Every structure is written in structure tokens, then in C-alpha cells.
Amino acid sequence: MAGTDVEEHLRVLRAGAVDCITEDELRMRLASGRSLRVKLGLDPSRPDIHIGHAVVLRKLRQFQELGHTAVLIVGDFTALVGDPSGRSVTRPALSKAEADANAATYFEQAQSILVPDRLEIRHNSEWLSEMGIDDVLRLTSRSTVARMLERDDFARRYAAGNPISVMELLYPLLQGWDSVMVRADVELGGTDQLFNLLTARGLQEHEGQPPQVVLTMPLLVGLDGSKKMAKSLDNYVGITEPPEEQFGKLMRIPDDAMAEYFELATGWHPDSVAEVLGELARTEGADRSRLKRLLARTVVDLYHGEGAGERAEAEFDLVFKEHAAPSDVEEFVLRPEELRDGRIEVARLLALAGLVGSNREGRRKITEGGVSLDFQRVADPLADVAPQDVDGRLLQLGRRSWVRIVAG
């Protein structure tokens, strides 16, 4: 490969990344002109992918577009151990059935991002489940307890007197052995995976293989603009969520998080990112809102196809600017058996329609001022209505949850 091509490929692959160990090694492997084997291990601890998970998948897609092979490792065996990365306590291990079920959904979603004809999927149970105790003992001899305790999360737990199981100490070695078995040229991961990825380099050298290049990506901040994106914190955008839901969520991100989202969540070439970041630095107020809309449209198009972002934006404006109902509102049929003396509490109606989890939560939402019938706020948490009073009317919770009541 010509030197200018190597430097351009390197620039694209380094864009947005944090660690590259080492850049010279990556440059040399790109210059070889051969298709590199680029590994990404995915832990099937949960079935759904959000756009934070997709950051590293988008980087893997860039390698594929430059002619390299993506090697996805389903951690169906290591999930039984539990990745301790970033954990302050021991994480419960998954059962084999749970790991398999999560992996099936996870990888179906991951493949919507990656190029299928440059994709190799392996399960690390292929080799790890075949290891005998003698193999495990040989593997453990390649590291030391002192080396493991250099890892930040282990060091913090040890200093705090929190337990660290011997099984957890095995995790970096098992993940590293995956790299040996697939002969990885490059491994991608989040910044919280750096220790594990470096462990693999040592194991490969011990086995006579060139050590893999390590490339880490930052952890995308969530919609709150402070904590990393996580479903447990409800600050995430799922890649399979409806376009309108994705667009609305992205319009909520703080302005100071926009640069990070443009760089990590759009899949854009570094030149396009640099151009919009320059514009972002020069704008404020309404112009920033325009750029946020561009960001939201771009992300929606990534996961739902070209034009989906514009349609989601139109729906957003219909609801938030014109204060109209969405064009496609689900119906809820109110059955006679749900009535008490011919009436029903609005709070119970919210629960039956699936807008809240319980009557109690419904009353709380009414007290907070978040419930309306045909755009008229419901003020009394104990308010009740007759079926004929609500037939055909819109029941609204907050700004984004609607049903049309039909008296059955």
C-alpha cells in the first residue's frame, strides 16, 4: 500500500480513539497490504445494543470498509465468569442459557452495523470449554497476582477490602487467550478494557505471535451529559428504538455533549466531523438547535435508513412545536368490566393503557401535572370519568406518551 494511503487509513482509524498501542505497529500492518484480523469481544451480559455500544462497532465497520476482516468473539464462556471491568463488586455470572439468549439478540443487532461479507463470528467456548486443568494452570503461570492488582478496578477493591474472586483474576487471561486462538492483528474495546487488551499482547508474544495492536474507544456519555450511557440509568438511545423515540431523546442531550456525539455516534469521516465541530464552536442559541437536529437526523438515518430522520423530525415538530398528537397513536379499548359504578379513575386508565406501571404511579403523574385528556391537564389525582366522556379522546402522559381511548 502506498505511503499516502497508509497515512489516510491511519488517520481515519485513529479518529475518535483514545489509546493506540502502538501507532507504529498499526502503520506497519496497514503498509503490509494484507487484510488484518480485527477482533472485538462482546460480552452477552445484556441483549440490547444502544448507541454507546455502537461506538466500537462503528470503528470496526471502518476497518471493514478499508478491506479488513472483523472477528466478533461471542463471550459465551467468559460470560460464565463475568467481566470485572469497571466493577466495584463481583458481578453475578450468567448461566449458559442466559448468555446464549442474550448473544442471539445482541449479534443480530450488531450485524445491522457491520459488513456481513467481511465478518467472522466465533464463540470462545470453542476453545475455552476444551481446556483441561493443566491448560488452565499453564495459562495462569503467564501472569502474577501483583500484575493483576495493577489493574485499576482490582486495586481499588483490594484497597477497600472488597472481595476479589480468583475466578475474576482469570478473566483477563481468558479474554487474552481468545486473541491467541483467532490470531488477532488488532483488538478494539472501550477504555475500560485496556488492561485486558494489553494482557493479550503478552500471551501472543509468549505463543510466538506478533502482539496485537490495541485500539480503545471512549465510553459515550449518556443523555444526561454526565454519566456513561447505560440502560440501567435510563440515559440511553437504543439502536432498535423507533425513529421518533431516537430523535426525541437526542434532542434532549446537553449542548456541551454535542461534539462528542458528532464524533462518536454519526459514523462520519473525520473531515466531516471537523467541519461541523468548527461550526458548532462558532454558534449558539437557535443555530445550536439546528446542529442538534442535524445530529438527531443523522443518527436516526444510520439505524432506520435515509429519510427516516426527516420523518422523525416532522413528527417531533408536530408534537412539540404545534402541540398536536402524533400521526400514529395506538388505541386502547376500555372494557366495561374495568368500570366501577360506571366510571374509572384516570390513574387506573393510565395503568391499564400501559402508560404507567401502577395506579399509584398514575396518581403521582397527575399530581406532577404530566397527564392530559385532549390537551386539557388533569389536576385531581383521584379524578374519574365515564366511558362516554373519554371515548375517542387522547390520553397523554408527558410529551411523548399517548393513547386514544375507545369505549368498548
Distance between terminal CA atoms of the chain? 70
Residue 46 in this model has a pLDDT that exceeds 70 = no
Residue 106 in this model has a pLDDT that exceeds 50 = yes
Q: What percent of the chain has pLDDT over 70?
A: 91
Residue 185 in this model has a pLDDT that exceeds 80 = yes
Q: Are 133 and 82 in contact (CB under 8 A)?
A: no
CATH 3.40.50.620 in the chain: give the residue spans: 3-217
CATH 1.10.240.10 in the chain: give the residue spans: 231-320
Compute the mean pLDDT over every residue in the chain, rounded to the nearest whole number.
86
In the CATH hierarchy, which fold is given to the domain comprising 231-320? Tyrosyl-Transfer RNA Synthetase (1.10.240)
Residue 305 Cα distances to 236, 252, 268, 299, 300, angstroms = 20, 22, 15, 10, 8
Judge: domain 3-217, CATH 3.40.50.620: yes
pLDDT band at 87 (very low <50, low <70, confident <90, very high): very low
pLDDT band at 207 (very low <50, low <70, confident <90, very high): very high
Could you tell me which of 190, 166, 170, 189 has the C-alpha nearest to residue 128? 170
Architecture per CATH, domain 331-407, reads as Roll (3.10)
Helix (H, G, I), strand (E, B) or coil at 399: coil
pLDDT value for 225: 87
Q: How far apart are CA 42 and CA 55, in angstroms?
A: 13
Chain position carrying cell 445530529: 295
CB-count burial class (<10 Å; 0-12, 13-18, 19+) for 171:
buried
Residue 97 in this model has a pLDDT that exceeds 80 = no
pLDDT band at 89 (very low <50, low <70, confident <90, very high): very low
Please compute the mean of the pLDDT values over residues 210-217 and round it to a whole number.
96
Q: What would the pLDDT profile of 258-293 be if each residue is shown by its tens digit?
A: 999 999 999 899 999 999 999 998 887 767 888 999
Q: Cβ contacts of residue 116 below 8 Å, gap of 6+?
A: none
Report pTM. 0.73
Q: Cβ contacts of residue 121 below 8 Å, gap of 6+?
A: 72, 74, 107
Residue 179 in this model has a pLDDT that exceeds 60 = yes
* Number of neighbouring beta carbons within 10 Å of residue 286: 7
Please compute the mean of the pLDDT values over residues 387-394 and round it to a whole number.
80
pLDDT value for 304: 92
Residue 321 in this model has a pLDDT that exceeds 80 = no
Residue 299 in this model has a pLDDT that exceeds 90 = yes
Q: How far apart are CA 297 and CA 247, in angstroms?
A: 7
Residue 306 in this model has a pLDDT that exceeds 90 = yes
pLDDT band at 78 (very low <50, low <70, confident <90, very high): confident
pLDDT value for 88: 44
CATH 3.10.290.10 in the chain: give the residue spans: 331-407
